[in-house]
Structure 1
Amino acid sequence: MEATRELYWNIGHGASVLIPMYLFTFAALGFLVRSGLQRLDIYKQGKPLNRFDQRGVRIVQLLKNVLLQSRVLKVKGPGYAHGLFFWGFFLLFIGTVFVALQADFTDLLFGFRFLHGDFYLIFSAVLDIAGLVAIAMLAGFFVRRYLVRPDGLETTRDDAIMHGLLFAILITGFVIEGARMAVTELPNNMALAAWSPVGLVVAKGLSGMGEGSLRALHQGMWWLHFALVIGFICSIPFTKFRHILTTSANYFLADLGPKGALVTLNMESEDAESFGAAQIKDMTWKDIFDTDACTKCKRCQDRCPAHNTDKPLSPMKVINQLGEVAGTNPDANLIETVSKDALWSCTTCRACQEICPASIEHVGKIVDMRRNMVLMEGEFPGEEVMVAMDNTEVNGNPLGLAFASRGDWAEGLPVTRLSDDAEVDILYFVGCYASFDKRNIKVATSFVQLCAAAGVKVGILGKEEKCCGEPMRKLGNEYLYQSMATENIETMESYKVKKVVTACPHCFNTLTKDYRDLGFSIETEHYTTFLNRLIQEGKLKVKGDAFDCTYHDSCYIGRHNDLYEEPRALVAAAGGTIREMERSRAEGFCCGAGGGRIMAEEKLGSRISGKRALMAAETGTGTLVSNCPFCLTMFEDGIKGAELEGKLVPRDIAEILVERVIA
């Protein structure tokens, strides 16, 4: 006997079954579509934004993240469990489609059947295993959410509905299969029954019932199972089930522009009534759509350095607060809803966005609300920030030092001021801290000496260089940022600079991304990439004196620009052996200086830099290597605050390399 089974066994396949079944199915799908269209009105409250360009790229991104669960699998444990549950449930859905396709289309209209023979055997085994895996993973989710719930994981009515419905759908499916097998396969076709291992166990458990009772159980469970599926479809728009659709759509709608780049405001627009976001209408439709895509998994919250140091910021809560405003009170003030302290606590480190399985964009929303506070209300996180802003306006740097002394650090070094000689190999965009801060001047000096050893002629702007404007921009002062940026661009272009190299990740990120909106087109490189290439090409020779260290991935080199290997290659070239910290690479922990926080006092919670210093100290190496002037400054303070002086020394890669140069 060929391996197969009668589809719709014990249910029938006439009009009395098919008509109500498909009528209810299409009605549920229609209800789903109608409810979804109604939610479009919520999204339309936001401003226009084009997220439908490069459709081929977007479709590939959608398929990769849905079918392969690429973003979900970034977190071990819950991520793997979710992936397994998805694949299990997805295979069951495909199996249901195959059954309907044969029974109600190919066989009904053309007499063609494909669910037989070896294909049917594999089909049966795969679906049974898929269902078992789905139930096991769902049970794990239940335990995690209700019995050993991690701190911060919120449980609501939606979660109970989701768990109940999914459990009921999966379990009734196996009861249906078991009742059928107890009548049709268990008595006389065990060879076939063996290919449905879970169904076989259920069938044996039900074997004591008579055939009449089994048929009644089968028929009752079949219609109950169908009703549960209809209920599942209808509940999608009103529960967290909607993330099945919205999260998937968000993969298609993800930002394809430069990673982490902010929208450049037209500060001269005569039509603009306000700048930044104070109400939900000031956000884009995609910002509102993000709130529906959120699964409340709290991964962003777990990664957030502000939240992890007891500050009043949870990226997850920010997104859900915006969603509540959009859905229930669109006239509410977003800043008051989220709270100013929460908004000022963000370091814009992108840890939340990097780990988010739903491709939600948190940072831009926070910066938009900051823009409103600064540009419309004149509010800053503290007096010290106002002073830094004033200093930048007057002297071109937040430290308040005279702009004329910006190039004094380079006296006696092999450096050319472009005002004297513009024929150089690279323009070294020094940045504020390397120009004025004694600790970071050592890094600038080391970089220049490394370039000289490689035969690279270095030029600087000196007093003509202004702050790149990044800290001001991330704190919401778009006007001051654009003023600084415009002056820098005009100065560099006037000298016909061919290439810019900077040791500051914040300068690098700003020049390579944000300045492009203002017409800047000069090639810009971070010094770790530049120096690594000089070593690879044999132009810069260093000896490898062995030492142990740990390495800190600066957020604006790591998560913002995916430069993880080049700095590590430089450490290796110098003879260093890196012992990675608990949080490294894409999961690295911020130093606390990003988002303009370098200019603000850390008054809430504990110090982010102190927590990172403790992570470094736990490696036992005694040396903390970084490649960012902000990080170096924060670690100097963090080590003192954590009482690690003498136990941990922060160093820049350039300082280590220059000690090992081979003349």
Structure 2
Amino acid sequence: MGATREIYWNIGHGAVVAMYLLALVAVGFMAQGFRQRLALWRKGKPLDRADHPAARVSRMLADIISQRKVARVPEGGVPHAMLFWAFLLLFAGTLLVMAQADLLTPLFRINLLSGDFYRLFSLVLDLAGLLALVALGVLATRRFVLRPPGLESAPADVAIHLLLFGVLFTGFVVEGFRMAATELRSNPELALWSPVGYLFASLFSAMTAHAQRVAHVALWWFHLLLGLGFIALIPRTKLRHMATTSGNSYFEPHEPKGTLAPVDLDDERAERFGASAISDLFWKDLFDADACMKCGRCQQRCPAWLTGKPLSPMKVIADIREVAEAENGKPLIDTVSRDAIWSCTTCGACEETCPASIEHVGKIVEMRRSLVLMEGEFPGDEARRACDAIEINGNPFGLAQASRGDWAKGLPLSAAKAEAEILYFTGCYASYDPRNRKVAASFARICDAAGVTVVILGGEERCCGEPARKLGNEYLYRMVAESNIAAIRATGARRIVTACPHCFNTLARDYRELGLDLPVEHHSTFIRRLVGEGRLKLNPASFSATYHDSCYLARYQNIVEDPRLVVEAAGGRLAEMAWAGSEGFCCGAGGGRILAEERMGTPMVDERLRQAKKTGASTLVVACPFCLSMFEDGLKRQPGTPELAPLDLAEVVARSIVQP
């Protein structure tokens, strides 16, 4: 006998009509379920996520096939990806069998499932089923036995695992009965190409042919019903993430990372700003809620959660879904809770690690906008006073606007603004804070040594507005942003450099929405280029160092290697912290939290200092004034002599400059 088999053996082609009718019913139930979810998503505001369709489809297919976002998740990521790939092969095999039986054979008399192709087909599908069972077993053990923190389980999770196991296991049993009655008797060599099926067939080989047939047909229908039940349940259980997670790969924004939804403050018809009700969120926010599978990864990476704050990004998404599904108009902000909303540092760790491409930060900022713009609520009176000071004095300290450029007295800066190579946007901390003024002075000396002419705005510069905007105060952000843009244009500047990642993101990304179209660079990449081009000569002196990644550099701008290369060029022997690069740990100052006191849990900076000290380095290098201030304050609270010396990247380089 050749290498092939009779499709629908022992079932009969008469049962095919019933099979397809049942399949149509299952697909109908699935479609009805997704129609119900669509009605839920439509509770949100319109949002265009259909631009760049070719790029979106390409990214979606790459994400789906490679499972790259899922596989990078520690512990459960790889087995989850294995389970997907296995089911993908099994589904493809099922479609091929259907095409062969109902299209190729009756219409074209072509049999693809024969010879070496059938042998390979049998082996691949058999091993795919085994791989799926193993992956499912690993995932079940992790969820129900090991129970890692943050991974929530409910009775529905047990039911889903049992359903998947039933589909896979009955598939092997059905195959075993078929092989025991056919291939083991007439073509044992072919049976070896289905090794797992062969084992089951061996268990049933002692049964009579009649018993094998009866058991086979009964289990075949049971297996079919389990499979169709799986299809019908997809939109009604967490299984819907198969569609919504894939959809999220398509609907991901094409704007630069960290872009917030614009607010039309001039719209006289607007009755409210921000999100105080579910209808104030975008449809994509509700779609995200259906894409969440509660894997807990975002919670496990959230610095607020890990330091005892009442913020779980996973719970925020779950709360949004709960409000969307409620029939009684459940309040959004009170359900999520104000403490959770104000605890966020907008560090982006949740979004960076989420395998479902969920956008957490924008939702939180929208709720903050409602609290600030509609209710006048802030995370504390100190944050309110800081915002008032920005409005009046242009800085959160309430210091005189005219003294903003005093730090530069006696330093080599250019007077001819239009002819300068760069405009140095100093930022509030480097302008007023004595510790960060040293950073600004170091940067000025670096530029002078490299022959780079520099100008500053001085008294014309105001806070970039980023902390206020992340707190939800869009009005204040717009006011200072427009003032800064006018001042920058008046200088005739051609390029902007800043040492503050928050200023960098705001000027390079957000100000473009307001018409500023100038190249903006962070001082880490700027210094790296000066060294690389030979314009800046360094005399490195060996020292041990660890580098703290600013969230707004590493995650928002993917600037990871440049600052490290600069440290090494200055003689630093880098020892990396456990959480580094795009998976770094926030200092606690982002999201406007630099303006507010940290009243709940453990200070984030204390945890980050603990991680830094663990490296044994003597120098903690940073590239952000917020981070530097947080580390200085954190070390002051600790008894004894500090084990670490926090230095900005510019300070490290300035002390290594070759003197003429």
TM-score normalised by the chain length of structure 1: 0.98
Distance (Å, rounded) in 2 between the aligned partners of 1:23 and 1:404 = 79
Match of 2:249 among 227, 233, 251: 251
Distance (Å, rounded) in 2 between the aligned partners of 1:593 and 1:123 = 56
Instruction: Return 5+ residue gaps in structure 1 as ranges.
Output: none
2:6 paired residue number: 6
Match of 2:634 among 621, 630, 638: 638
Distance (Å, rounded) in 2 between the aligned partners of 1:483 and 1:163 = 54
1:219 paired residue number: 217
Alignment of 1:76-95 (within 5 A): 76-95=74-93
Aligned-pair CA distance for 1:187 = 2.9
Aligned-pair CA distance for 1:222 = 0.6
Query: Structure 1 5/644 Cα, relative in aligned 2: closer, same or farther at 3 Å?
Result: farther
User: Contact 2:439–2:650 at 8 Å: present in 1 too?
Assistant: yes
Distance (Å, rounded) in 2 between the aligned partners of 1:421 and 1:254 = 41
User: Contact 2:64–2:246 at 8 Å: present in 1 too?
Assistant: yes
Q: Please tell me whether residue 135 in structure 1 is matched to residue 133 in structure 2.
A: yes
Alignment of 1:191-270 (within 5 A): 191-270=189-268
Alignment of 1:374-453 (within 5 A): 374-416=372-414, 421-453=417-449
User: Contact 1:449–1:658 at 8 Å: present in 2 too?
Assistant: yes
TM-score normalised by the chain length of structure 2: 0.98
1:509 paired residue number: 505
Q: Which amino acid aligns with 2:388?
A: D
Match of 1:582 among 560, 578, 582: 578
Aligned-pair CA distance for 1:610 = 0.4
2:117 paired residue number: 119
2:142 paired residue number: 144
Match of 2:360 among 359, 362, 380: 362
2:451 paired residue number: 455
1:290 paired residue number: 288
Distance (Å, rounded) in 2 between the aligned partners of 1:227 and 1:262 = 46
Q: Which amino acid aligns with 1:605?
A: G
User: Contact 1:434–1:440 at 8 Å: present in 2 too?
Assistant: yes
Q: Which amino acid aligns with 1:158?
A: A
User: Contact 1:610–1:642 at 8 Å: present in 2 too?
Assistant: no
Alpha-carbon displacement from aligned partner over 1:381-404 (angstroms, at most 9, x marks no partner): 111111101111111000111111
Aligned-pair CA distance for 1:190 = 2.4
Match of 2:525 among 529, 535, 548: 529
User: Contact 2:427–2:463 at 8 Å: present in 1 too?
Assistant: yes
Aligned-pair CA distance for 1:215 = 1.1
- Structure 1 counterpart SS, 2:646: strand
User: Contact 2:551–2:584 at 8 Å: present in 1 too?
Assistant: yes
Aligned-pair CA distance for 1:614 = 0.2
- Structure 2 counterpart SS, 1:422: helix
Root-mean-square deviation (Å): 1.2
Aligned-pair CA distance for 1:659 = 0.9
Match of 2:622 among 612, 620, 626: 626
Alpha-carbon displacement from aligned partner over 1:538-563 (angstroms, at most 9, x marks no partner): 11111222222111110000101101
Query: Structure 1 84/144 Cα, relative in aligned 2: closer, same or farther at 3 Å?
Result: same
Aligned-pair CA distance for 1:27 = 1.7
Alpha-carbon displacement from aligned partner over 1:260-281 (angstroms, at most 9, x marks no partner): 1111211111111001000000
User: Contact 2:73–2:355 at 8 Å: present in 1 too?
Assistant: no
- Structure 2 counterpart SS, 1:520: coil
Distance (Å, rounded) in 2 between the aligned partners of 1:2 and 1:527 = 71
Aligned-pair CA distance for 1:188 = 3.7
Match of 1:492 among 485, 488, 510: 488
Aligned-pair CA distance for 1:5 = 1.3
Distance (Å, rounded) in 2 between the aligned partners of 1:86 and 1:632 = 44
User: Contact 1:281–1:330 at 8 Å: present in 2 too?
Assistant: no
Alignment of 1:267-278 (within 5 A): 267-278=265-276
Q: Which amino acid aligns with 1:260?
A: G
Alignment of 1:462-473 (within 5 A): 462-473=458-469
Fraction of identical pairs, as percent: 53
Distance (Å, rounded) in 2 between the aligned partners of 1:261 and 1:361 = 11
Of 543-552 and 562-571, more deviation after overlay is shown by: 543-552
Query: Structure 1 645/78 Cα, relative in aligned 2: closer, same or farther at 3 Å?
Result: farther
Q: Please tell me whether residue 573 in structure 1 is matched to residue 569 in structure 2.
A: yes
User: Contact 2:417–2:493 at 8 Å: present in 1 too?
Assistant: no
Of 25-34 and 475-484, more deviation after overlay is shown by: 25-34
Q: Which amino acid aligns with 1:144?
A: R
Aligned-pair CA distance for 1:255 = 0.9
- Structure 2 counterpart SS, 1:416: coil
Distance (Å, rounded) in 1 between the aligned partners of 2:401 and 2:564 = 35
Aligned-pair CA distance for 1:332 = 2.3
Aligned-pair CA distance for 1:638 = 2.2
Aligned-pair CA distance for 1:380 = 0.4
User: Contact 2:418–2:491 at 8 Å: present in 1 too?
Assistant: yes
Query: Structure 1 329/632 Cα, relative in aligned 2: closer, same or farther at 3 Å?
Result: farther
Query: Structure 1 306/562 Cα, relative in aligned 2: closer, same or farther at 3 Å?
Result: same
Of 37-46 and 585-594, more deviation after overlay is shown by: 37-46
- Structure 2 counterpart SS, 1:186: helix
User: Contact 2:635–2:642 at 8 Å: present in 1 too?
Assistant: no
1:649 paired residue number: 645
